[in-house]
Structures are given as structure tokens and as C-alpha cells.
Structure 1
Amino acid sequence: MKRWLSTSFAIAVACTGALPVLAHADPVWDRIKSSGHLVCGAIPNDPIGSWVDPKTGKWEGYEIELCRSIASDLSTTMGKKIEPEFHETGWNTVVLDIQSQKIDIWPGMSATPERKNALSMVGPIYTLAMCGMVRPNFQTKSTWADLNRSDVRIATVTGTSVETAFKKTAPEATQITLAGYSEITLAVQSGRADMMGADVLRCLNVAKSAPAAFGGIVYPKPIQSLGSSAGVLKSADQFTAWLQKWSDEKRKSGDIKKMFMSVFEKTGLDPSKVPPEIQF
């Protein structure tokens, strides 16, 4: 009897061990596939990133185009039509909206330590080249070595990733941090600062909106870029893996840059001011 029980137990253990291990469910992937919708965050009046076209009532911007492209390629992967859907959010609520599953993704934000603790940060989905808007008559500095001198005064917005990047890349320059870009514009105009430190999107926008306030755009060489990642739910393992592969392929193929150039034309920004060596 004991021998029979022992043998039966061994067989049961062996059979149990042979059972396939069930994969960890991904609530985001499963919901997208079952609903046929990818819910993306959209921030109203976010310059270049996302806005509602008053003529059509449709969302536009590079964040919007990214979501449309992701949905299109998910359709191929999932074997069914996936429609992009846009849910209004804000910079102060986007992390909570992803955690509460009101939205599936926000495709462009800095991967700060706080965000990495709260979300899976995938990317970079795109990169933004660092640039400077210089004051009129400022002798243009074309390299980071030229800028990395105490007699060069660089103004950036306090507490931003741009501030951190400029302080790291040009530590010997005189760094001036101010509350916002309006204050920086005044600092450059008054001669208090030589340059506004920013990223390529900000520089193009300022060059369009306030051309008389600055002497032009400088992209110090070698080109340095800031990465922007997509925030998704931490438990979205399958979606995260797919999105990382998608991002790598799209950036390598140049498709991400094409999206940005298309949006620049829609917003009246001058794409010719972007050097060909700058990618996105």
C-alpha cells in the first residue's frame, strides 16, 4: 500500500511539473486587443506635442502621430484593427491616469527616477537635440568646448532636464536658472545672459514666435540629445517589450524623424533650421 501511494505521488508530481507555466497576464495588451482601441493621453495646447485643430476638431501633434503609428502597427501584430483613442490629461495627472488605467500610454516624457518608480519607461521613443538661442551680436560658439567657459552665460529653466543637461555638458559656463522661458527671454534681451539653453522643439518655436529677440539658433557640436520615453503601466510586460522593439526599429529607419518634420510643416516651423545630422 505504501509503495503504491509513493508511486502515485511521484507520478502526480511529475505530471504537475510537466504542465506548462501560465504566462503572466498583461492587462494593457489584453484590453487593447479585446477593445480594438489604444487609449493615448493628449494634453490640450501643448505646443507642437498635442493640440486640437479648431478647423477639424481633431487632435494633432507629434505625440498624436506617434500614437496613430503605434496603433497602426499594433493592428498588424494583433491581426485586427486597432484604433487610436485620445483621452485628455495633463502633466500633473498623466502618471496617475496611466496607473489608474484611464490611458494606456503617454509617448513622450523624461524618464526621471520618480517616473521610473511609478511606471515602466520605454525608450527612448525619440530624442531632442540640445540647442541654444543666442543674443544678437553674440559671437557664435559652435562647439561645447567653446561654450564651456566662465565668460559664457547660459540661462535655463529651473528644475528641468534641460537645466541638468547643460550643467553637465558645460559645467564651466556661468549657469543662470530662471523660473520660465519668458524670464529667460528678458535675460537674453537685456544682456544678462548670452544664450537660452533649450531643446530643438523649443528653439524652433522661439525662432518662429520671437525672431527679433535672439540672434539665431546654435546646435553645439558634437550634437547632444535628450531622450524622451513612453510611460506605460508597470505590469504591461508584453506591451512594454513590443513597444521597445517598435521604438528601436522606427528610430533606426528614420520614421520618427519623418513624423517630426511633417508636424513642423503643419505648425509653420522651419524644418530647414534642423541640421541633417540631427535625428529624433
Structure 2
Amino acid sequence: MASRRDIASLLGSGALAAALAPIGTAQAQTPPAPGENAFQRIRRTKKLRIAAAVGTEPYYKKDIATGQWSGFCISMAQDLAKVMEAELEVIESTWGNSVLDLQANKIDIMFGLSPAPSRALTVEFTRPIMNNTFTIIAKPDFEPKTWADLNKPEVRVAVDIGSSHDLFARRVLPNATLVALKTPDEALLSLQSNRADCVIQVAMLSLVTVKKNPKLGRITVPTPARAQPTCAGVRPDPDPRFRTFVDNWLEYNRGIGSLRSWITSSLEIVGIQPQDIPAEIVF
């Protein structure tokens, strides 16, 4: 586990005493200096750029009235920016577009990505932040117990196209009837309108979905339990210093309990208490 001294040595003296800068909105892009890597650019410009996806609580939550962001990933980004003596800049994006934002050098890091092999062709991933259990939200009269119960042509499984839910369903449920829709909201609407029997979501999302709309269905964790790592994505760089720094920062915060604290605090933002989390779901 990396110590506070280890992290400080990557930055230089004074990093850990830096005050947390307010969250800004990304403006004109600062061109990189010749031969400059991501770590050097952040240290030079004093700006850490991330993308955030609206409507993905508890990962990202935007206050429409104030424009301020909160959530699990924002808490992590704020702390990382503080340690790097940088101001946090947030641009509004989507999970899918965030990979393009990394490629285009619009952002430095995207928190909350799953390291799917297709994504790993174009971006690099940090060590896992946590493992996120795959769950289903099932309509009231549908009671599958296993993933095998879902892997049948008569079972209609809704997913949002291009997401980790979509990739997981295509790999694990090849015989099910996939209801692939453009957005998570459309996938949920298909369940409400009885065009699907269930929706696949990772636990961090399904907990929020059912909390907001208990009539939608119930959360089930089919057996055997399956989970995916949740990481941060960074742009490929010949000099891995930034990714190495983030890895050390993650291990340090895992060791002192900050990662778990950020997760539980983000769930509380949307009204989810520890007793609301099924015993089968472990972060």
C-alpha cells in the first residue's frame, strides 16, 4: 500500500497541504508542451480535467439550479486534484463519449469506467477502484434465480447500447432476447411498458434506480454472482507517470478507508442507507 510519503514524493513538497479548488468548467484546451506527458501538463497548468455524465447517480450528480457536481467520482476527482495541487475542471459528457474525450485530449482521466477489452484498445486503465456486482431489476411476476434462468429466447433482457451491461449480456446471455436501447432511461421504460422482463444494471446504479422508483421492480443478484472491476481510464502515454501516480493514490485511499467512505456518502446523497443494500452486494 502506498503511504502519504510515497504520494508526496511523486509530486514534490507542499502537495498534501494544497487547498481544494472549486470545481470549474473546462474552457479552451491548453496545448501540451513538446514532449510533455499528462503528469507534467497537469502540474504545469494546475488543472485536472475530467468528464462527468448527467443522470448517473451515485457516480455523478449535477445540481440543475447551481450547476455544481457531486457524487462518488466527483469526490475522488476532488481529492486527486487537491493532492496534485490543481483545480478540478469538469466537462459534461457520457460514458461512451468519455473515451473519445480522452483520445481527443479534452480530459485527463475518467472515473467509473469498466476495463472492457474493446475500450482497452484505445485507453489505459488504472488499478480497480472497486468491484461492481451485476444485478437485474425484474418485473414483479418474474423471479429468476440464476443467470441460466435468463439465458433463454423467451426472456427479454433490456440494456443500454454500448454500456458494460450490454457487453456483459451479449457474453453471458447469448440465447436471451436482447432489448438493446440507446439510453439507460429507454431501457428502464421498456421494463415499465412490459417490453422487457428485466433490466441489467450494476449494483451502484440499480440501487439508485429502485430507490427512485420502487414500483419499477426489485433488485435480484442472480447466481453465480458476477462482478466487474470499476477503474479510471487515462490516455495512453509513453511515460506512465500519471497512471502510476493514480494507482498509488488509489491504494493509499483504499488502505485508509476513503474509497469506501466516498461510496457510502454518494449513496446517501440519493437516500440509500446501508440497510437498503442487499447482503449479496459487496463493494
TM-score by length of 1: 0.72
Note the C-alpha offset of 1:144.
3.1
Q: Distance in 2 between matches of 1:182 and 1:46?
A: 11
Aligned pair 1:227/2:233, yes or no?
Answer: no
When residues 195 and 245 of structure 1 are mapped into structure 2, their CA distance, relative to the original with a 3 A threshold, is same
2:249 partner letter: W
Describe how 1:84-95 pairs up with structure 2 within 5 A: 84-91=87-94, 93-95=97-99
Percent identical residues:
27
In the TM superposition, residue 46 of structure 1 has moved relative to its aligned partner by 4.2
Map residues 118-197 of structure 1 onto 2, 5 A cutoff.
118-139=122-143, 141-149=144-152, 152-172=155-175, 174-179=176-181, 180-197=183-200
Q: Which amino acid aligns with 2:230?
A: S
- In structure 2, stretches of 5+ residues that fail to align are 1-34
TM value normalised by structure 2: 0.71
Whether 2:98 is the aligned partner of 1:98: answer no
Kindly indicate whether residue 116 of structure 2 is the aligned counterpart of residue 117 of structure 1.
Answer: no
Q: Counterpart of 1:118 in 2: which secondary structure?
A: coil
Please tell me whether the aligned partners of residues 58 and 205 of structure 2 are also in contact (alpha carbons under 8 angstroms).
no
CA distance in structure 2 between the aligned counterparts of 1:120 and 1:269, rounded to whole angstroms: 32
**Aligned ranges 1:8-157 → 2 under 5 Å:** 27-53=37-63, 57-72=67-82, 74-75=83-84, 82-91=85-94, 93-139=97-143, 141-149=144-152, 152-157=155-160
Alpha carbons of structure 1 residues 58 and 83: separation in structure 2 relative to 1, 3 Å: farther
Which whole-Å CA distance do the structure 2 matches of 1:126 and 1:142 have between them? 25
Q: Aligned pairs, how many?
A: 246
After superposition, the C-alpha distances for 1:43-87 in whole angstroms (9 at most, x for unaligned) are 455443323335665321112111123234x35xxxxxx244123
CA positional deviation for 1:201: 2.9
CA offsets 1:192-238 (integer angstroms, 9 cap, x no match) = 53321221133123212322232x11012332112333222222511
1:83-119 superposed Cα distances (whole Å, 9 cap, x missing partner):
4412314136534543454432112223345543333
Moved more, 115-124 or 198-207: 115-124
CA 1:67–1:279 in structure 2 vs 1: closer, same or farther (change >3 Å)?
A: farther
Give 1:12's aligned residue.
none
Runs (5+) with no aligned partner, structure 1: 1-24, 76-81
Does 2:263 correspond to 1:260?
A: yes
Q: Which is further off, 231-240 or 242-251?
A: 242-251
Q: CA RMSD in A?
A: 3.1
* Alignment-mate amino acid for residue 256 of structure 1: L
Instruction: Give the letter for the 1:261 counterpart.
Output: T
